[in-house]
Structures are given as structure tokens and as C-alpha cells.
Structure 1
């Protein structure tokens, strides 16, 4: 057991320890290969920063893109940059230099932002699904429903929801007593990774984490699926083939992004809880990929699928040259 990171108080009956730091070890079982793992992860992180940065710049630069669909896309890009920046730099440091200490407050802060940004990503995808629903199923009401005021309220709401849901999880960590190991066999601090180091019961932490995930991300996915069921039913009822093709084109990029995000998220979520036979290194790699792959792929998908974004990116790149 690693001794540093503890402040111990001894009494006649027991010894209790107050953690001051955690030791993040990286991917268990792959320590000798982490320097090689850093190459694709560095490339994906750089691609995510450049791609999402371009999306935000294009939306801000072109007034014609100051519409709900593109403003939500800019929100998604900003969230993606923050999400991967919270985890990847620390992960790369571990890959390059070996196990790294993270103070208790820093670890809790990282945990808070990882979970909060993940929830806000899901909320933005739900808002984008609502945008497509109104655009296709109630086009005449689009301008009156999706106003600038509503978009601002949506942005504030998704931030408030993330804070309200994640904060109790942090408080539940603070009630735990850590008296054994301070080693987290992971590349970043996350809720159950910290909780499993505690000596007292973590049942409340586990129940709250599962309930919060189902009532936020789970419900978001259900509402997105319902909205697209209605959208597809409406599209197939359109009279002309050209209209159906155009409608599918406006939804294609969003559907791809949804599939990437929720497939990786749910697969990681369920394998962590029920995949007892899955190797530990596979779980940790998956936990990193579901936070990094969507930010990397989203700008590529929207760049390929969305004509306006693709054209404006070309124009911006030419001006920069």
C-alpha cells in the first residue's frame, strides 16, 4: 500500500485516516504499453480540439448560422472540448510519466466536472432532437418556438441540471471514511472508483449513481428515441421523395452523433456494473474512449453531413491561410 497521501489519527479503539491525495495508476496491466497508448489518445485529443474549435469559430463567424440548430451544435462543441480537456491531459501525463498524485479536492473537482459535462452532453443532444422535431413536425411554429430566449434558457437549464444531479454525488463521497488504500487504478477520478476505496458502506453511493444515471441520461435517450420515432413517421408521410431526402439529410448527422455517444456510454455503464468477466484494462480503456471518441467524431460527422458547416469551414480555412 502507498503511504503518502494520508493523515492518520489513532485512538484506543480504531485508526481513522483522512485522505489528502489519491494515486492514479493508469490502465492496470498495460503499464508497459502506456507510452504507445498515448500516441492515438494524443492524436484524438488534438483532433477533438481542432475540430470542435473550428465548429465554434464557424458558427460565431457566420451570422447565417445563428440559428437554433447551429447554436446547439456550438454548445455541443464547447461541451466536447471541456469534457475531453478535464480527463485527457492528466491521462497523458500518467502515460508518459507513470502514476500521478491527485489531491483529494482536485480529484473531487475532476469527478464533478466529468459527470456534470457528461450529463450536459446528453442534455444538448436532447435539445438538438427537439430542434429537429419542431423543424420537421411543426415547421410553421419553428421560428416562434425556438427563439433566442428559449435557447438561453435551455443552456442555463442544462447547466443547472448537471450541477443539481452531480453535487449530491460529491457530498456522498465526503461522508465516506478512507482507511486503507489511496490507489485508484484508473486514469481519472470518477464516482465509484473513489467510493470503492472506502471502508464503510457505499450502497447509498451506488444506488444514487444508478438512479441519477437512469433518470437523466436514460430518460434523455428515451425522449430522443420517441422524438425520432415521430420524426421518421412524419418523414415517411411526406409526399415527395425530394422532401423525404432533405428531411433525412437534416437528421442524419444528429442520428450518427447520438448512436456514437449513447452506444459507448451505455456499453461502458453496463459492463462496469455487470461485466465481471471483462478484463480490468478493457473497462478502463472503454471508460476513456466513451469520453474521448464522441468529441473526436462529432465535428467530423457534422463536417461531412452538414453542407453549411462544411462550406463555412472551407471558407474559414481559406481566410486563415
Structure 2
């Protein structure tokens, strides 16, 4: 059991991503998330009886504490050795005891109870050294990653489609609802004027929409093939209907450009981080719920191309089908997606070592 505690709502997403990465890396490991923020359970009150009951019930084997705001009773009663305790996402505001006070005499023993400390920046690292943190416990400054692990792909599927497609240019409509068929067709036809043999891969928003989407594209005059029926994207094919959501990792890897389906019509869209982490340049409309925060992060770094209306999709697609243009945008998105990789890898290695010692 790995226990992750996030002390602030703004790092709840990083806590969830770390949990996903631990579950992916450590077979059979369970992760408990506590703290403040969506999807996190509240920790027990920092009182002896409540804390002891909590720890006796869950019996964690490793602890990753994110963000400071330490709970002295909880940390004192937790019997994990320092080699199984990691502190990360600790900034200047986090160097305080629960209740808001900053007391070096109290903080020193709290910090010394962690075997690995990952300060958010160099200034916090300097402050920790002055507090007497052992040098061997102080990791390199940096925050954890906020982007989930890349979606998987079966290697054989990837190789087979690369061979089937050859040099043919493709683009992906990820999570496309059936009601966007007309605007997808318009974009395909606009871009195909300059990009010969252009293929659209349409991954439906839900499995139930696959056939309505295919029928709507056919009604607009496109030649459509369906992967679920074993059909191949042969030369006459204009649009290829992907087989459900399980293969999204495959299509992001194959398509240099992705339009985030639903973002022009207000339907719930997929996370833009999915494409960003796999090197596909993003076209995104104004409506990005429930992934608005991810879209804002990429937008602030010029890591996606914004669309304000459906009419802009075709020209924007045409522009991004230039390899140089798509590569610049994808590179910016990749930089965002890989931020925090060093701190995340350090935390993962620390947790893995703790679990290995516990199992020995």
C-alpha cells in the first residue's frame, strides 16, 4: 500500500498522476490518496485516537507527502522508516506546520523523518539545508509531472498500420461526435486540395456513435472504411472509423495532427494531454470541458492551435499538415507533457525501493 497525501487542491492532479504511474510501474501495488482536492479522501483529524485508527486500518508501506502543511501527530505516529517516506511539491508556503506556523525547532525533526525530499525550487532547497536536512536526503529541485502516462499501444498493430498507410498523410479527429460529421468533412475537403491522398481517422466519442458517425460521413460523400469490421484504409478511403477508445494510443502515434472532437460543438472532449504526450499537434475549439485546465496549460505555452469557429478547422488543418509547422507545435506540447519527469522518476524509484524492502 502506497499512501499519497496532497496538502493543497492545486496539486491534487499531480497526486493522481503519480498514483497512476505507481500503479503502472508496481504490479499489485494499491495506492491510497488523501488530501484536499477532487478525487482525494480527507485525512484524519490530527488527533491521537483518529490518527492511530487511520494508520491501523490502512497500514501503508510507503508515504509520499505532497506540499507541506505538515500534521505533526499523523507524521509522528506513522511508523514508517525514513527510507519509506518521500516529501515532494514542497514550496516556501508549504514549510509550515498544520495551523500556519513556521517553527524551525519543530520543522527540523519533521523534515528529518523523510528519506527523500524534492523541493519545488532552488530557494526552498537552500532553506532546507539551513534547517539541517541531511544532504543525502535532498533531491534535485523540481515539481512532479501533471500529465498522465502516455496511452499504450500494441506494437504489432502499430507496425501493421504503418505498412498499410505507407507515406499517406493522415489526421485524427479524436473523440468525434456524430453531430460534427459535416464540419469534419468540410475540413477534410479543404485540406485535401493541397495534401494529396489525405486520410481522416475518426475515433468516435462513444462506441455507440461509431456507426452514426460513419453513416453521416458517407452521407456527405466520403468513402468510409470501418476498422471494427476488419476493413483496411485502402487507396479510395477518405475516412477510417477507429474501433473504440482502446486504440487511442495507436492513433495519436500515427497522426501528426489531432483535432479534439467535441471542442467546437460543446460535447465533452478528451484530454489534450493524451495527444501532447505522444507528439501529435493539437487543434482545439473553445469548449474543452472537462479538461479546461489542461487546455489552458497548453494554450499558455503556445502548445496548441486554437479554433474559434468550425470554419477555421479546415485552414488550420491545412497549415498543420506542413511537417515543420506541426513539429514546432508538437514540440511545445511535448515540453509541457514531460515537465516534472525528473522529480517524478525520483519519487517512483524511491517508492519502488521502499516496496522492495518491505517485500524482502
Q: Judging by fraction of residues, say which structure has more helix.
A: 1
Greater gyration radius: 2
Q: Judging by fraction of residues, say which structure has more strand.
A: 2
TM-score by length of 2: 0.28
TM-score by length of 1: 0.30
Q: Which has the higher contact order (CA 8 A, sep 6+)?
A: 1
